[in-house]
Amino acid sequence: MRKKAYKVEIILCCLLLLLATMNVNASEGTYVSDSGEQFEYVVVNGYARLTAYWVLPGRDTPAEIRVPKELGGYPLKEIGLAAFDNWNTIEYQGETYNPYDKDKVQRIFIPEGVTTLKDGAFACCHDISEISLPSTLDTIEKGFAFQHVTAEIVLAEENQNHIVNNGFLIDKRTDTLLYCAPSAKDQPLPMVKRIEAHALDNYGYFHPILTFPETVEYIGGFNAYDLVDLEAIVVPESVVELSDYAFFCNSATNVTLNEGLKRIGAYAFA
């Protein structure tokens, strides 16, 4: 269903990855597992941030990626930008490889101790069936943490900050919808106050009329992106802000707004 617009977003994602690689940290390192898995990281304030995962050429990609609790002797606390990217190739010993076989991986387990998913943490992590998040997870940075992801989210029951309900990942503290898993497609959107950027990536394709709950006050960017079968968008009276790019790039021919809007961001209807 994604056409030329999909390619545009892939290019943007790749540019972000390029910018990320330009930020060289002297404390960077790589942990290599016995099975040939490569966990690249940087050290920030005494803890590790995972920056990339890949598997040595000629070694088998595991069905389950289990991220270690420590990297290089440092506790793992953060998952960095596109750490599990399986779209872009890597250079190793003068050759170009795919980072790992995405068709073999079923699950990614993020260990206890991780507190933060940086902006775009799982961007370009295509075709993975399940991502398991720990009870210690405190912060999922807004933006595109799950861009181009179609995984179901399994959240530790002890997590006090987030909840997964009917496939919807929600920050309980800010009443914010962060992600819709594929299993959420037939459910009504939850009664939240905020919908972050790209939260509806796996949802909008199944709804020719995109109607937001009457509790929503803020709609983030790219929440109707590349919906080629979208007919209408209904924004309730509760909404006071449409972010930049809120309804960027779709086929809707009818948009219902309200008089309570205080801000319509740049390119909201481009």
In this structure, the answer to whether residues 198 and 102 fall within a common structural domain is no
In this structure, the answer to whether residues 143 and 212 fall within a common structural domain is no
Instruction: Supply the pLDDT for residue 12.
Output: 53
In this structure, the answer to whether residues 220 and 140 fall within a common structural domain is no
First to last CA, the chain: 19
In this structure, the answer to whether residues 147 and 191 fall within a common structural domain is no
Print pLDDT tens along the chain (270 aa).
444 444 445 455 555 554 444 444 448 999 999 999 999 999 999 999 999 999 999 999 999 999 999 999 999 999 999 999 999 999 988 999 999 999 999 999 999 999 999 999 999 999 999 999 999 999 999 878 999 999 999 999 999 999 999 999 999 999 999 999 999 999 999 999 999 999 999 999 999 999 999 999 999 999 999 999 999 999 999 999 999 999 999 999 999 998 889 999 999 999
In this structure, the answer to whether residues 241 and 133 fall within a common structural domain is no
In this structure, the answer to whether residues 98 and 9 fall within a common structural domain is yes
Instruction: Count up the domains in the chain and report the number.
Output: 2
In this structure, the answer to whether residues 16 and 136 fall within a common structural domain is yes
Flag whether 172 is in a domain.
no
* DSSP secondary structure, 112-135, as one string: TT--EE-TTTTTT-TT-SEEEE-T
**Percent helix / strand / coil, the chain, rounded to 5:** 10, 30, 60
Flag whether 234 is in a domain.
yes
Flag whether 49 is in a domain.
yes
Domain extent for 201: 184-270
Instruction: Supply the pLDDT for residue 260.
Output: 86
